[in-house]
Amino acid sequence: MSGIYELSATTLEGAEAPLAAYRGKVLLIVNTASKCGFTTQYAGLEKLHKTYAAKGFEVLGFPCDQFGHQEPGDAAEIRSFCATKYEVSFPLFAKVEVNGAHAHPLWAWLKAEKTGFLGGAIKWNFTKFLVDRAGKVVERFPPTTTPESIAPKIESLLNAA
């Protein structure tokens, strides 16, 4: 399977975005949802983004409606919710599937690189993958892991460069 930099994703605005644009950055890739018990993590993700973006860090958000129909909105509704409720400024991508036959290639790759506690499948919204500057998945976090608790690992990867 290709590495992360050979993949691309569609932005929330509908433009194709090569992930090679993030080469050399530390990434936190998250499947998100607007009507989930973990939705308040948007605030922590935005704080991480603002704290570390200037040092070469990006949060990449991928809305997903595969878990309890918790992301029912279209792109405009998702953008509006994220902007008004959480002032999200990190990149958001078009709604994707993370499991099954139609899983986005990025998510298929992420799951192959780091399986979870119960196997490869994503179990719920706000599963997070931490990727180093070389494009290697270094850790996978369950939805219960708060963005704030990942900060020391992000700092370590940023300082390792």
DSSP for 2-40, written as a single string? --GGG-EEEBTTS-EEEGGGGTTSEEEEEEE-TTSTTTT
36 catalytic, yes or no?
Answer: yes
Res 2: pLDDT? 61
Task: Quote the CA–CA distance of 52 and 14 in Å, as a whole number.
Answer: 26
Percent of the chain topping pLDDT 70: 96
Active-site position among 12, 30, 36, 64: 36
The pLDDT of residue 1:
46
pLDDT band at 121; cut points 50, 70, 90: confident
Taking domain 4-159, whether its CATH number is 3.40.30.10 is answered by yes
Phi, psi at residue 77, to the nearest 5°? Answer: -65, -40
